[in-house]
Amino acid sequence: MPKQQQRPKKRTRALLELTKKHYERELAKLQTKLVEMQEWVKATGAKIVVVFERRDAAGKGGVIHRIMERVSPRVFRHVALPAPTEREKSQLYAQRYTKEMPAAGEVTIFDRSWYNRALVEHVMGFCTEKQYDSFLRMVPEFEALLKDNGVILVKYWFEVSEKEQHKRFLKRIEDPMRQWKLSPMDLESHRRWYDYSRARDAMFEATDTPQSPWHVVQADDKERARLNCIAHLLSVVPWKRIPQQKVKLPKRQDPKGYKEPHWPYRWIPQEY
């Protein structure tokens, strides 16, 4: 008789339930590596641009928050530009973004980027068809120019299912602490799901190039999306750990007769 086949393992580690304790432990490891990558960026003068685009309510902001949480804002710069002013509307389209590009030893995180034109501006009719077509033709050359000037460019698209997006919008409506996240533009994006789908598809077709590919993050599970995205970012940037000398605290100076004054400090109430 043939040997009895072994039962397959229940699930791989990646598919196991992600407990809060496990999530926080893995996040701490990744954030430690981000700090180590930061030291490499400073030491080598690297210039990194990370673009975050998404469907509304896909959890992009949560990932950016976890990236920025433990690093220096002088190295990692979070750029979230508001709607363009009348003056900016008259400038070259890429002008307001190029001035935000990193100098040596910096990482710029674009919380929405020049791809606004391919997405919200196109879907909502804020640009002309000529401007839209011109943008899609121009982007590969623009991004090639960045890379030719030593910029490491990483592009993420956060994809959330129709069902999950609907669920998250309802949560925002019901939760007073999340209602600020709702805007008329968000509600319109919910209505125009398929218009955004078409815009995303056209954007990928025109701008998903070998030198500047789009990396898609499955974002229905926010915690997994955060871990997977940060882990991927650490894997695509060619950083190396820079040995650090252990810091030793200097001895405090002699007080030379200094005494604390009897000043009536206005201490805040001890409510907690």
Query: Which CATH number belongs to the domain containing residue 200 in this structure?
Result: 3.40.50.300
Number of domains in the chain: 1
Cα diameter, the chain: 93
252 within a domain of the structure (yes/no) = no
Domain that residue 28 falls in: 17-236
Burial of residue 202, with CB atoms counted within 10 A of its CB: 0-12 exposed, 13-18 middle, 19 or more buried: middle
4 within a domain of the structure (yes/no) = no
134 within a domain of the structure (yes/no) = yes
246 within a domain of the structure (yes/no) = no
Q: Specify the pTM.
A: 0.89
Q: How far is Cα of residue 94 from the mean position of the Cα atoms in its chain?
A: 20
Note down pLDDT in tens along the chain; length 272 residues: 344 444 444 444 445 689 999 999 999 999 999 999 999 999 999 999 999 999 999 999 999 999 999 999 999 999 999 999 999 999 999 999 999 999 999 999 999 999 999 999 999 999 999 999 999 999 999 999 999 999 999 999 999 999 999 999 999 999 988 888 888 888 899 999 999 999 999 999 999 999 999 999 999 999 999 999 999 999 999 999 999 899 999 999 999 999 999 999 999 999 99
141 within a domain of the structure (yes/no) = yes
118 within a domain of the structure (yes/no) = yes
65 within a domain of the structure (yes/no) = yes
The answer for 269, left when phi > 0, alpha when psi is -120 to 50, beta otherwise, is beta
247 within a domain of the structure (yes/no) = no
H/E segment holding residue 43: helix 20-44
Angstrom distance (rounded) from CA 44 to CA 105: 7
